Amino acid sequence: MNHPTREDLVAHLYDELPPEQQTELAAHLRECADCQKVATAWLGSMAELDTWQLPVLPARPKSTPVLFAPFVRWAAAACLAAGLGFLGGRFSAPAPDAAALRTALAPELIKISVVMDAKLAEDRRAVTEILQTMQTQRTEDYASLRRALETLALNTEDSLETAQQQIVQLASFTEPAQR
């Protein structure tokens, strides 16, 4: 058997190998002095690690204040003061007079309404002008296209008549009599 890998040797020491590999590795360790020396050293290290314990830290005295506790108290006090101030102002303020607000805002709302109506009328005029321009352009394009198609039809008709005459001439053509 070849020498075992470190991983296999550690798995053997912790009894994590399958039984057949465990048996083979144990037999190898009995025969190989080098591997036996490494395993013995690791077993010593494992035993030493098993005896090691974390040092016990001294307990913190209960009278030691937490550093942020005063800030939490001050923050809670500030929130309470702000909330009470808001509620006090909210409940001590007089209720708004809806009729007075309507009469105060009515002239401004009328001015805004007049301005909006003027802008709406201006937009309608602009849209009407654009639509009229588009209709004029469409009519001009239609007339231009119609003229172009009529010209094409006349040219095609003339070409067809010429071609028809040539076909008639070719059809009436007879070969000269051979002598």
- Structure tokens, 51: 């005896």
Please, what is the Cα angle at 96 between 93 and 99, to 5 degrees? 160
**What is the structure's pLDDT at 18?**
92
pLDDT mean over 69-86: 88
pLDDT tens sequence across 80-123: 999 999 988 888 888 888 888 889 999 999 999 999 999 999 99
Under 8 Å between Cβ of 28 and 35: yes
User: How much of the chain is helix, strand and coil, in % rounded to 5?
Assistant: 80, 0, 20
What is the pLDDT of the chain when averaged over all its residues? Answer: 87
**What is the structure's pLDDT at 169?**
82
pLDDT tens sequence across 29-65: 999 999 999 899 988 888 888 888 878 877 766 665 5
